[in-house]
Amino acid sequence: MNAIKRFFGLGDQIETRTGSVGSAGGDSPLAGVIPPPRTELGVTWREALKVSAFSRSMDQTNTMMSSMPATVRDARRRLILPDAREFPSIVSQPNLDMDYEEFVQSTVNDLFLHGEFIWLRVGDPQTVNLIPVAPHEMTIVRERLPDGTWGRVRYGHLGRAIPRSRVIHKKHTAITGEPRGIGPRQLAQAELRAALTLAEFQREWFDSSNVPSGTLNTDLHLSATEQDELQSRWNNFLRSHRGQSVVLAAGLSYDAIQLKPADAQMLEVQDAIDRRIVRICGTPAFDLLVPGGTESRTYQNLEQSTLQYLVATLAKYMNAFERGLTDVIPRGNKVELDETGLLRMDSKTRAEVDTANVQNRTRTPNELRARDGLEPLPDGDAPPAPKQVASERLDQPKEIDA
């Protein structure tokens, strides 16, 4: 019996090691027993997806992330072409059962909803497949050492221990001593709960019969029995004579309870909640059609807005994804996402930049034509002739007009 208790982690004879506050399973027993996955508190990820501002912010983030192809650079920072033999195939197709875009979206959504993503490596020593695992199915426990510091992290999946070498675990926001990451959903719990409560109120207002349609008023003093009888007769009349005219006597008047659509749906409150949600998510309010982004949009400030969104928000997702893939390719190489497609310039600015690059000999015409999918020119790789700049000699007299 004692052996059974020790195996399942029961009884007083089991030594425990304290996990971090809020970690999956709380206090964790010895390495032979893996606690169950953590139970989500507050607004769950399924409930959060019902909030339009939150789900649209997540959709915009994973759309922009999945549109950036992954590139690889060697130890000398030289770009490895995708068709080169040295290019790791795991970068172009991390998972054998899904395409690249789906893999990126799954990873980014886990960061957005759970604050972390987890991949399981398949293959040793060379990784041939990366399997995304739902974070809420994982148990992650960090051990407390005798000196009070934090030790190694142990992983488990549905009660089964997973070796640390097989796990790729990256966090959206890391906190010292916490084995789990936190993301926008955890940071916006109050705002998401307010949005769900407001949606429930709107539904109850229009669909529920608890809200009276109007009030009957009179200057006469009525007893409780007379009030009940008058209310019953009025309700029966409305049910049997729907859409017909009514004549009121004896000083009775009927006042309908009517609200403006904006007041009934509490649009100002909803807009305020949406602004707080997109502020936490880091997405531009203008792009999500959230009131508050009142600036006019031209091509120039649209480009600046995209650049700011890339630097202030997308960079965190990009860094986590790049580090995850870098961990599974040969040492010395590094994965980088190509954000060139997100920062497209208008035609006039792009032509001016290309002309300057050719004149400064930082690009050749054939390199620019290859970028645009055009055939190379016979002399397109030759450097341009230096530009002749007219100059005046100081020893020559200058004619001065009178």
The residue assigned the tokens 């090691």 is 17
Structure tokens belonging to residue 35: 């606690």
Pairing assessment for the beta strands 150-157 and 334-337 based on DSSP bridges: unpaired
The yes-or-no verdict on residue 394 having pLDDT over 80 is no
The yes-or-no verdict on residue 110 having pLDDT over 90 is yes
User: Measuring CA to CA, which residue among 66, 68, 71, 9 is closest to residue 36?
Assistant: 9
pLDDT tens digits, one per residue of 226-266: 878 887 877 777 777 666 667 776 677 777 666 555 455 66
Neighbours of 273 (CB within 10 A): 24
| Contact by Cβ (8 Å): 106, 132 | yes
Distance of alpha carbon 85 from alpha carbon 231, whole angstroms = 85
Structure tokens belonging to residue 223: 């007893």
The residue assigned the tokens 């004879």 is 13
Distance of alpha carbon 175 from alpha carbon 400, whole angstroms = 75
For residue 150, the 8-state DSSP code is E
Give the pLDDT score at 224. 85
pLDDT tens digits, one per residue of 296-352: 555 456 667 778 888 889 999 999 999 999 999 999 999 999 988 777 666 677 777
Which of the two residues, 123 and 216, has the higher pLDDT score? 123
> Going by C-beta distance under 8 Å and a sequence separation of 6 or more, which residues neighbour residue 171?
115, 116, 180, 181, 182, 320
pTM over 0.85: no
User: Measuring CA to CA, which residue among 371, 325, 346, 370 is closest to residue 65?
Assistant: 325
Distance of alpha carbon 253 from alpha carbon 210, whole angstroms = 22
Least confident of 75-89, 176-190, 235-249: 235-249
Mean of the pLDDT values across residues 61-69? 92
